[in-house]
Structure formats: C-alpha cells, structure tokens
C-alpha cells in the first residue's frame, strides 16, 4: 500500500476499528442489501507526510457514488458555513461573471449560492440523483466522475472551482487533482474543504472513522497534496466550528504555467515601458518619476532606465535627496524640482498611493502633464481618469 498523498510505502497501522458498518453515509433499502454486514476498518499513518488513510483497495467506490447524496442544506451550521464561504469567495475573487466548476455538487445548494452572486456554475457529479436536484437549482451538471478522461466530456476551462467534502472519499486524490487541473485556466482560484482529522483527534471521535472515507486530512496533508498538484495554497482555514479543514488555492496551470506567464509578462512590461518612454523622447518631451522607494529602484533598474530616459526622481523624504537609485543611477531630488525643472510626464511608482500623489502634483506643484502608472502594465492616465482622481 502507498500513501495516497506522497506515495511513500513507509506506512504503519494507526487505529483498528472492529465491527464497523460497511457504509456510513447511505442507508439500506432492505437488511439483506449488499454492504449490510459489519467489517473491520484499519487506519494507516504515512511515516513520511503524516497522512491518515484506509487501504484504498478495500473499497469499491464507483457503485457507491452513483446514488450518493449528501444534503448540506438541512442544518443551520452548514447553511451558515456555506454562506460564509460564499461571502469570502465573493470578496476575494468577485463571483459575478465567473465560470465555476463544482466537483461533487450534491443537491446543488452551494452552487445555487454562487449563482445568486452572478456566477455560472457547472458541476461534475457522479450521482444521477444529485444531478437531477442540482439542475433544478440552475447548476449545469455533467453526470460523470472526475478522472483523466474528463476533457472528453467537458470542453470548458473554468475561472474557479469548488469541491467540498469530496476529496476525503477519493481513492487517488493525486489523479483527482491532476484531472481537475485539466479543466481549469492557469491562475484559476479554488476552494476545497474536507473533514478535519484534527477535530476528530481533539474531540476523540472514534465514530468519525467512517469506513467509506479514504483520507483523513489535516492542514498539513491538505496543503501537501494541493502543492504537489500545482495548486498554490493562499490560505488555510478551519470552518463550521472546526469540522472542516479547507484551503483557498490558485492553480499554477500546466507544469509551471504561472511561472511561464510571469516570465512572458515581465518581457511585455519591459517592451511596453521602453516604447512608452521612447514616444516621449522622440517627441522631445521630458519624463520624471515620483517615489524613490524599493519599487522604483527595482523597476527602473530591470527595465533598463537611465538618466537619459528619466530626468529625475522626486521623493518627499529629504534623507534621499541628492542620492542615486542603484542600477538605473537616477538622481533623487525634492518635489519642488517639479516646479523648477518642469517635465511633460511623471511616472508614479507607488501605485497604491497614485491618487494622493496625483492630487499633490497638480494642486501643490502646479503639474499639468501626463501621469503614468506602472501596474499591472505601464500606461498613461486618461483625461477622464485624471479628472476623477482630482475630484475624489
Ligand atoms: Zn505520505
């Protein structure tokens, strides 16, 4: 047996539960139904990453999921938890107009919350019963499993994903997450949660050891498996009174996708910045910059700026006056220089403060030229934008 997270074979028995039920989350239609007998459950611990799991080969999952349905909307605690998650997602990523996939949507309760915030929601859901209910709530359902053939059925590439209380039931979570990646855009955000093993341990809940649960995750093992599959973990949380451990993540894309994008964007930034500066110098116009902080130092150095392209850098801190920026060797001077040696454009390096700096430039130093921002790409503020800033 291998660890389902890190694939180590260094595994030991952690807990032995005798006479457990075969299934814990579905009821039998008759006492003689398949799966009605008791069975022993062993939990194993991975000595390398600490993952707690059963032996996945002891489970026949596929038929189990086909009529699996866990309704989340029936208790106040879950409803409150799901509402909090929706609020957080909306705050972090802005749900309006987003195309989201939910893996394992159950009765569609959470999907409907996302739809109410203006998102479009599709779901991958192996249970036909669940699909029928979720469709009624406006979720577009693919009645199938998430595995490596998923792109044969789902052609969309989603902006975000949600998968709640699903991965703990998955025998091969690495395959699950790799398959999920295939239907996401690079940079897609995600929300995942699973029952918390920490809670089970703290509350000594032996009854939380369900024979149909494959993986028992902690914050550490959840982060481990997400990062292994190219999801950057942005934030880990414990929710619903500690019942679930969850994470907000961002998908790297194909191997090193975000890193490649970072490289490409860097080149594009430099190209655009250089050509913008060339436009000014070709027109015989002068450019200065505001802000000799770390951002300015870095950006002017790596984009190849020199005292020929940028006349000077002003800063309010008089300790910096008459010093030079490392790399670009631009000279730092007092803000009064804007009056004494007028320029046609000022680059504001601290994008966070561009509104207040723009107001100071115009109101205190009589500046009437172009204001240039550098984030995310170099650009000149339009007349309308300038007017709006001055009025604010
Ligand atoms: Zn492991």
pLDDT, residue 71, reads: 61
Distance 12 CA to ligand 1 centre (A): 11
One DSSP character per residue, 36-104 reads -SEEEEEEEEETTT--EE--GGG---HHHHHT-----TTSHHHHHHHHHHHHHHHHHH--TT-EEEEES
Residues 184 and 90 in one domain: yes
- 174 dihedral zone (left: phi>0; alpha: psi -120 to 50; beta): alpha
**What are phi and psi for residue 254, nearest 5 degrees?**
-50, 165
Residues 238 and 95 in one domain: yes
Q: 74 pLDDT band (50/70/90 cuts)? A: low
- Per-residue pLDDT, averaged over 139-154, amounts to 94
Distance 384 CA to ligand 1 centre (A): 57
Distance separating alpha carbons of residues 192 and 194, to the nearest angstrom: 7
Contact 326, 297 (CB under 8 A): yes
Residues 227 and 317 in one domain: no
Q: 211 pLDDT band (50/70/90 cuts)? A: confident
Distance 52 CA to ligand 1 centre (A): 8
Q: Is residue 6 in a domain? A: no
Distance 198 CA to ligand 1 centre (A): 17
Q: What is the percentage of the chain residues whose pLDDT exceeds 70?
A: 95
Q: 381 pLDDT band (50/70/90 cuts)? A: very high
pLDDT, residue 61, reads: 58
Residues 276 and 372 in one domain: yes
**Final residue belonging to a domain, choices 190, 222, 255:** 255
Span 223-237, pLDDT tens digits = 999 999 999 999 999
Q: 28 pLDDT band (50/70/90 cuts)? A: confident
Span 282-303, pLDDT tens digits = 999 999 999 999 888 999 999 9
Q: Is residue 379 in a domain? A: yes
Structure-derived torsion over alpha carbons of residues 224, 226, 228, 230, reported in degrees to the nearest 10: -150
Distance separating alpha carbons of residues 381 and 34, to the nearest angstrom: 69
pLDDT, averaged across the chain: 91
Distance 56 CA to ligand 1 centre (A): 14
- Per-residue pLDDT, averaged over 118-133, amounts to 95
Q: Is residue 144 in a domain? A: yes
Min mean pLDDT across 74-78, 96-100, 154-158, 296-300 is at 74-78
Residues 378 and 337 in one domain: yes
Residues 30 and 85 in one domain: no
Distance 196 CA to ligand 1 centre (A): 17
CATH number, domain at 79? Answer: 3.40.50.150
pLDDT, residue 94, reads: 96
Residues 278 and 351 in one domain: yes
Contact 249, 234 (CB under 8 A): yes
Distance 215 CA to ligand 1 centre (A): 11
Q: Is residue 260 in a domain? A: no
pLDDT, residue 213, reads: 87
Distance 45 CA to ligand 1 centre (A): 8
pTM over 0.85: no
pLDDT, residue 189, reads: 97
Q: 198 pLDDT band (50/70/90 cuts)? A: very high
Contact 106, 126 (CB under 8 A): no
**Final residue belonging to a domain, choices 255, 277, 293:** 255
Residues 366 and 306 in one domain: yes
Residues 250 and 190 in one domain: yes
Q: Is residue 76 in a domain? A: yes
Distance 192 CA to ligand 1 centre (A): 19
Q: Is residue 5 in a domain? A: no
CATH number, domain at 333? Answer: 3.40.50.720
pLDDT, residue 287, reads: 97
Distance 3 CA to ligand 1 centre (A): 5
Min mean pLDDT across 23-27, 197-201, 293-297 is at 23-27
329 CB neighbour count, 10 Å cutoff? 12
Distance 280 CA to ligand 1 centre (A): 58
Task: Provide the sign of the torsion angle of the four alpha carbons 285, 289, 295, 298, taken in this order.
Answer: positive
Distance 42 CA to ligand 1 centre (A): 16
pLDDT, residue 70, reads: 62
Distance 190 CA to ligand 1 centre (A): 23
Residues 181 and 41 in one domain: no
Among all chains, which residue has been given the structure tokens 């611990």? Answer: 45
Distance 19 CA to ligand 1 centre (A): 27
Q: 67 pLDDT band (50/70/90 cuts)? A: low
The number of helix segments (H) and strand segments (E) in the chain equals: 13, 17
Q: Which of 154, 178, 176 is nearest to 167 (CA)?
A: 176
**What are phi and psi for residue 151, nearest 5 degrees?**
-70, -15
- Per-residue pLDDT, averaged over 65-93, amounts to 83
Q: Is residue 336 in a domain? A: yes
Q: Which of 230, 228, 224 is nearest to 185 (CA)?
A: 230
Beta bridge partners of 332: 313
- Per-residue pLDDT, averaged over 219-224, amounts to 97
The yes-or-no verdict on residue 62 having pLDDT over 70 is no
Q: 20 pLDDT band (50/70/90 cuts)? A: confident
- Domain range for 21: 11-58
CA atoms within 13 A on the CB side of 2: 9
- Per-residue pLDDT, averaged over 319-339, amounts to 95
Distance separating alpha carbons of residues 34 and 20, to the nearest angstrom: 15
Distance 236 CA to ligand 1 centre (A): 19
Work out how many domains the chain is built from and give that number. 3
Distance 274 CA to ligand 1 centre (A): 49
**Final residue belonging to a domain, choices 208, 227, 255:** 255
pLDDT, residue 209, reads: 78
């Amino acid at each position: 047996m291998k660890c389902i997270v890190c694939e180590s074979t260094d595994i030991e028995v952690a807990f032995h539960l005798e006479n457990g039920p075969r299934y814990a989350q579905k009821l039998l239609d008759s006492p003689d139904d398949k799966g009605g007998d008791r069975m022993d459950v062993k939990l194993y611990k991975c000595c390398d990453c600490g993952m707690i799991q059963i032996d996945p080969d002891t489970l026949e999952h596929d038929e189990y999921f086909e009529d699996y349905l866990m309704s989340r909307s029936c208790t106040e605690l879950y409803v409150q938890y799901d509402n909090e998650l929706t609020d957080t997602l909306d705050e972090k990523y802005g749900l309006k107009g987003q195309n989201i996939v939910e893996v394992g949507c159950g009765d569609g309760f959470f999907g409907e919350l996302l739809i109410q915030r203006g998102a479009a929601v599709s779901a991958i859901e192996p249970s036909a019963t669940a699909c029928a209910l979720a469709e009624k709530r406006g979720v577009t359902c693919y009645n199938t499993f998430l595995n490596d053939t998923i792109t044969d059925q789902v052609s969309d590439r989603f902006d975000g994903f949600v998968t709640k209380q699903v991965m703990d039931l998955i025998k091969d979570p690495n395959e699950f997450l790799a398959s999920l990646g295939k239907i996401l855009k690079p940079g897609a955000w995600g929300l995942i949660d699973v029952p918390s093993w920490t809670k089970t341990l703290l509350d000594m809940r032996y009854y939380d050891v369900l024979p149909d649960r494959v993986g028992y995750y902690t914050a550490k093992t959840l982060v481990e498996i997400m990062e292994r599959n190219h999801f950057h973990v942005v934030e880990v949380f414990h929710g619903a009174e500690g019942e679930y451990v969850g994470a907000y993540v961002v998908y790297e894309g194909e191997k090193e996708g975000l890193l490649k994008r970072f490289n490409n964007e860097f080149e594009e930034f430099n190209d655009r910045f250089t050509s913008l500066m060339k436009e000014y110098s070709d027109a015989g116009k002068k450019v200065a910059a505001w802000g000799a902080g770390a951002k300015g130092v870095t950006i002017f150095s790596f984009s190849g700026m020199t005292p020929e392209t940028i006349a000077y850098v002003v800063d309010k801190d008089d300790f910096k006056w008459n010093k030079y920026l490392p790399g670009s060797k631009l000279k730092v001077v007092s803000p009064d220089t804007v009056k004494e040696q007028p320029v046609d454009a000022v680059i504001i390096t601290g994008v966070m403060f561009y509104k207040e700096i723009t107001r100071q430039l115009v109101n205190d130093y009589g500046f009437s030229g172009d204001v240039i921002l550098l984030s995310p790409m170099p650009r000149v503020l339009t007349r309308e934008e300038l007017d709006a800033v001055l009025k604010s």
